[in-house]
């Protein structure tokens, strides 16, 4: 009887040790599974599977206002003084470019802006369009992404001929480049200078100039960029490449550092160029 008790105790100890080791192994695997990775697969409500790379978000410009608003598919820096974003930055993937007919929602306040974004009523009878900075047309692939472009933090007063003319041509060309070259990083905004004309009770500033910076980082060792600076007063029949400038020029006008996280050698090379070699305008 005594021998049986000893054998039972030994057997119980062996089983307990086995279960402990198995549980520890499982927990160790769970910890490994939770380690941060470079790529995190996500799937939106419309079933579009994407892979988000953390390094994609290292391209954010500096904020001169220290008021960053982050949305699912774009980020902006809001200027309370001018009641609009000084820049809006987002990734544009070929898979986003879907011709889905979405119902346009009303423009609403952006709750991510602590000082509260401007009321859309400022634009009524002003003679200016509510010009999207992150275009709704770039976000048709997903209903929530599309609706998020209608926050008033994502609009700027634009002359209708400009908004529907050369600015629209540039937006369409950007989509063409996304399809041609692959994933792009786009930064857009108005040049928020002193003494600008304003509209509405909240004195929303009307930029005289608008810029768009496009980064193609498909080749991480040799990324390329192109920047545009355009007068926003009227439509222009000029070719788009006539408005190509260096990123340095836009930085001087805005006080924004556009790619601070890039290695200095790459940043300096990208920002000093004002040519359009490597970009197809046809």
Q: Give the chain's mean pLDDT.
A: 83
CATH code of 39-272, in short, is 3.40.570.10
What is the rounded CA–CA span in Å between residue 6 and residue 88?
A: 73
C-alpha span between 247 and 229 (Å, rounded)? 9
Indicate whether 78 pLDDT > 60: yes
Is the pLDDT at 53 greater than 50? The verdict is: no
pLDDT at 176 over 80: yes
Average pLDDT over residues 38-47: 39
Give the model's pLDDT for residue 213: 97
List the domain boundaries for the chain. 1-35, 39-272
Q: Mean pLDDT throughout 152-162?
A: 97
- When pLDDT is averaged across residues 132-152 and rounded to a whole number, the result is 96
> Is the pLDDT reported for residue 28 higher than 70?
no
Three-class DSSP category at 249: helix
Average pLDDT over residues 99-128: 94
pLDDT tens column, 214-271: 999 888 788 899 999 999 987 778 899 999 999 999 999 999 999 998 888 889 999 9
Contact 249, 274 (CB under 8 A): yes
Q: For residue 188, what are its two tokens?
A: 């857009």
Residue 97 clears pLDDT 60, i.e. is over it: yes
What is the Cα Rg of the chain in Å?
25
3-state helix, strand, coil in the chain (%, to 5): 35, 25, 40
> For residue 119, what pLDDT is reported?
96
Across 196-204, average pLDDT: 97
pTM, whole model, 2 decimals?
0.80
Residue 217: phi and psi, rounded to 5, are: -115, 25
95-105: burial string, b at 16+ Cβ within 10 Å, e else: ebbeeeebeee
Question: Is the confidence at residue 110, as pLDDT, over 90?
Answer: yes
Whether 43 contacts 50, CB under 8 Å? yes
- Percent of the chain, pLDDT > 90? 65
- 236: which DSSP letter? -
Tell me the average pLDDT across 30-52. Answer: 35
Question: How confident is the model over 11-26, as pLDDT tens digits?
Answer: 455 444 444 444 443 3
């Amino acid at each position: 009887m005594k021998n049986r008790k000893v054998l039972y105790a030994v057997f119980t100890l062996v089983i307990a040790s086995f279960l402990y080791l198995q549980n520890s192994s499982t927990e160790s695997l769970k910890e490994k599974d939770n380690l941060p990775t470079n790529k995190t697969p996500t799937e939106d409500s419309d079933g579009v599977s994407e892979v988000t790379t953390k390094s994609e978000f290292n391209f954010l410009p500096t904020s001169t206002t220290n008021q960053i608003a982050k949305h699912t598919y774009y980020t902006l820096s809001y200027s309370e003084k001018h009641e609009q974003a000084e820049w809006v930055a987002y990734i544009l993937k070929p898979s986003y470019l879907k011709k889905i007919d979405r119902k346009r929602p009303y423009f609403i306040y952006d709750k991510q802006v602590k000082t509260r974004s401007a009321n859309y009523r400022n634009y009524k009878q002003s003679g200016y369009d509510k010009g999207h900075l992150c275009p709704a047309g770039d976000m048709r692939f997903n209903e929530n992404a599309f609706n998020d472009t209608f926050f008033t933090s994502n609009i700027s007063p634009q002359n209708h001929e400009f908004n529907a003319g050369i600015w629209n041509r540039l937006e369409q060309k950007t989509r063409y480049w996304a399809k041609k070259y692959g994933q792009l990083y786009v930064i857009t905004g108005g040049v928020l200078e002193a003494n600008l004309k304003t509209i509405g009770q909240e004195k929303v500033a009307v930029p005289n100039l608008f810029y768009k910076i496009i980064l193609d980082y498909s080749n991480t060792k040799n990324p390329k960029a192109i920047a545009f600076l355009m007068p926003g007063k009227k439509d222009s029949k000029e070719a788009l490449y006539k408005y190509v400038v260096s990123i340095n020029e836009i930085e001087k006008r805005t006080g924004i550092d556009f790619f601070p996280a890039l290695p200095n050698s790459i940043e300096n090379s990208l920002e000093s160029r004002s040519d359009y070699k490597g970009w197809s305008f046809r």
